[in-house]
Amino acid sequence: MGLVGGVANCLLSGEFALPHSDSKRKVWRPGWIANILIGAIAAIVVWGVYGPASGYDLTRYASPDFHLPVAQLVSSILVGISGARILTTMAQKESERATKIDLAKVLEDILKEQK
C-alpha cells in the first residue's frame, strides 16, 4: 500500500520525472521511482512498529496470528504519501541551497568586476 501512496504523491506533486543528477549543482533528483520506493518503505516501517506483528518475537518458532484491520491498510497509503513527500521536500531544499550558493558566487564575481 505504500507503493500506492508513493504513486499518489507523484500524482499530487505532478512529478513523474526519471531519476537524474545535476552535476553542476551536485544535486540528485530521485524522481518518481524513489517516491514510490520511499512510500513503500515508510509503510512497512509503520506497519512493523504499530501493526499486528509489532509484538511478535522473532526468536520464537511458533507462527503468530496476524490480523490486518482496514484502518491499518489505509494508514499505509497515508504513510506512503508522507514518506515520499519528505524525500521530495529534502531534495527541493538541497536544490535551493545549491542555487543560493551559485547565486552568491555570481554576485561575488560581478562585484569584483565592478571594482
pTM > 0.85: yes or no: no
C-alpha grid cell, residue 57: 518475537
What tens digit of pLDDT does each residue of 43-102 get? 877 777 777 766 656 555 555 665 556 666 666 777 777 777 787 888 888 888 888 988
* pLDDT at 114 exceeding the cut of 70: yes
Using DSSP, state whether 56 is helix, strand or coil. coil
Strands 27-29 and 20-22 come out as antiparallel
What tens digit of pLDDT does each residue of 34-57 get? 778 888 877 877 777 777 766 656
Q: Using CA atoms, how far apart are residues 115 and 99, in angstroms rounded to an integer?
A: 25
Q: What is the pLDDT of residue 115?
A: 73
| Domain limits, the chain | 2-114
Cite the DSSP H helix spans in the chain: 2-13, 31-50, 70-114
